[in-house]
Amino acid sequence: MPALLAEIPSLASVFVPIVVGGATTLFFAWLLLANQSSLSIYVRDGFFKLWAALQRKSITVQDTNDLSPADIRSVLRSRNKGSFFERAVSQKAWLPLHSLESEDGERYERMRIVFHKVLVETRYPKRIAGLMEKHCNRDMSSCRSVCETVARVFFDLLFDKELDDESAKLYFDASMEWRREIAMKGFASKTTKVAFVKHLARHIPNKWFETYPECTKMEIVSCFAQPFFISPMINVSDILVAVFNVAATLPQNARSPVQLNAKELVKMAMLKYPAFPILEREVSPNQQVILLLSPTSNEKQASALLFGSGPRRCPGKDVALTLLHHIVERASRNMWKNFTPAVGHLYSGRNNDKEVVVSELLFVLRVLVRTLGMAALDFIGLKYADSASQAFYSEDQDMVEERSVPAVSVDLVGNDTDSGAESASDSECEY
Ligand code: HEM
């Protein structure tokens, strides 16, 4: 009998996660596939409540339609994302990178400083229009061509040189790998991720590694990789698919370049198909809020949502909108010829995805079972060692060590920093 008692924690460690995780996520996934009935909303909220209870936290899940813009901004005033999707799912999917969007705490604070310094030193307000003229004259006839163009613009902006065709292909392939895992559609190829990280790391001037010794090398690389390459490739292509869908619903005469305002169209598309359907904040140590972006949010609500609000709002909003407006304006001027960004577009995890295949659904289940299972283990006082993530971390040094190429010639030190980037990042979103 004592022997059996001694076994109880290990039995619990097997059964609690399986029962709690398996049952609820199967039910949750089934309801996700069902329409937005009130029953499915109850069950969705039940899932979040169980997840929160396992963390001994309380949670509020809010559809943004039910909140005033002031309420939305008040939630988004918090600096912490908390311990739900960003921490439990996205941080792992981003590995070996650390995504500023998903991190909290000391790592977030370290990386935030570096990122803002890099953004200011690109002097993007003065340079971005020229770079778009230079790189956006390619066709936008596939997700690949859109993403490669985005990568070329940002590579030139950051390093003052062109990304060659072979490398642009690698950058696109890597973005698709991350995209698959972040959207919970399957595992990413580690080889492709690593090839991208190594390529990018070789081009980052030594100055950035030397100036911030408190950051790991991977944190520095991440400040370039995630906000300037992987996320924009995902978001810009996703938004352009939404633009295409919205434009297709307009009457023929309204689609003419004379009638159509690129800014209005991008705004309509972003409202209808929000690129970030969920925003999270930990509003106090034991209180989490999840905001679910409703596609029927009005403009005032959307102004606080599409690029976020508060200290965690998107600092790349201006550069992103300039890029999007430029591409859409060009497409409308060309009467939408060669503008088919949905070709090859996959894994957005958002409203404009096509049908979900069984293997993708199983992967969603796997992630959710694992997530709740780990929360359950934690609840009963057992820590789970994630050996796969730890292995990825331990390769951190190797992946960025091979920076044999000398620092690139662009002088990032002492440049004119009166670029407006800082003030842009401080401005509130107009939508
Ligand atoms: C292409 C369209 C883009 C969209 C739709 C977008 C949207 C967003 C959203 C919704 C957030 C989260 C805000 C929140 O939680 O309140 C965010 C965060 C962020 N974005 Fe963007 N973004 C885009 C492009 C960019 C670009 C081009 C950059 C860099 C130049 C960038 C850099 C960042 C960073 C660093 C964060 C994290 C900020 C923090 O947590 O402190 N974004 N973005």
- Residue 242 · residue 273 · CB < 8 Å: yes
- CA dist 34 and 105 (Å) reads 37
Q: Is 228 in the pocket of ligand 1 (CB under 6 A)?
A: yes
Protein residue closest via CA to atom 42 of ligand 1: 316
The CATH code belonging to domain 59-359+386-426 is 1.10.630
Query: Which residue out of 90, 307, 318 has the highest number of ligand 1 atoms within 8 Å of its CB and is therefore the one to mutate?
Result: 307
Q: Tokens at residue 10, please?
A: 């290990």
Q: How far is CA 339 from CA 21, 326, 352, 395, 412, in A?
A: 43, 13, 17, 40, 36
Q: Is 205 in the pocket of ligand 1 (CB under 6 A)?
A: no
Per-residue model confidence (pLDDT) at position 11: 62
- Residue 409 · residue 207 · CB < 8 Å: no
Q: Where are the domains of the chain?
A: 59-359+386-426
Per-residue model confidence (pLDDT) at position 154: 98
Protein residue closest via CA to atom 9 of ligand 1: 307
Q: Is 227 in the pocket of ligand 1 (CB under 6 A)?
A: yes
Q: Is 21 in the pocket of ligand 1 (CB under 6 A)?
A: no
Q: What residue ranges of the chain have pLDDT lower than 70?
A: 1-40, 252-260, 348-356, 384-385, 387-388, 390, 392-398, 401-431
Q: Is 85 in the pocket of ligand 1 (CB under 6 A)?
A: no
Protein residue closest via CA to atom 18 of ligand 1: 314
Rounded mean pLDDT of the chain? Answer: 82
Protein residue closest via CA to atom 30 of ligand 1: 316
Can you give the chain as a three-state secondary structure string? Answer: CHHHHHHHHHHHHHHHHHHHHHHHHHHHHHHHHCCCCHHHHHHHHHHHHHHHHHCCCEEEEEEHHHCCHHHHHHHHCCCCCCCCHHHHHHHHHHCCCCCCCCCCHHHHHHHHHHHHHHHHHCCHHHHHHHHHHHHCCCCECCHHHHHHHHHHHHHHHHHCCCCCHHHHHHHHHHHHHHHHHHCCCCCCCHHHHHHHHHHHHHHCCHHHHHHCCCCCHHHHHHHHHHHHHHHHHHHHHHHHHHHHHHHHHCCHHHHCCCCCCHHHHHHHHHHHCCCCCEEEEEEECCEEEEEECCCCCCHHHHHCCCCCCHHHCCCCHHHHHHHHHHHHHHHHHCCCCCECCCCCCCCCCCCCCCCCCHHHHHHHHHHHHHHHHHHHHHHCCCCCCCHHHHHHHHCHHHHHHCCCCCCCCCCCCCCCCCCCHHHHHHCCCCC
Using the mean position of ligand 1's atoms as its centre, give its distance from the Cα of residue 16 in Å: 37
Q: Is 114 in the pocket of ligand 1 (CB under 6 A)?
A: no
Protein residue closest via CA to atom 26 of ligand 1: 316
Using the mean position of ligand 1's atoms as its centre, give its distance from the Cα of residue 415 in Å: 24
What pTM, to 2 d.p., does this model score?
0.86
Please give the angle made by the CA atoms of 279, 289 and 224, to the nearest 5 degrees: 35
Per-residue model confidence (pLDDT) at position 354: 60
Protein residue closest via CA to atom 41 of ligand 1: 312
Number of the ligand 1 atom closest to the C-alpha atom of 308: 16
Q: Is 274 in the pocket of ligand 1 (CB under 6 A)?
A: no
Q: Is 316 in the pocket of ligand 1 (CB under 6 A)?
A: yes
Using the mean position of ligand 1's atoms as its centre, give its distance from the Cα of residue 313 in Å: 7
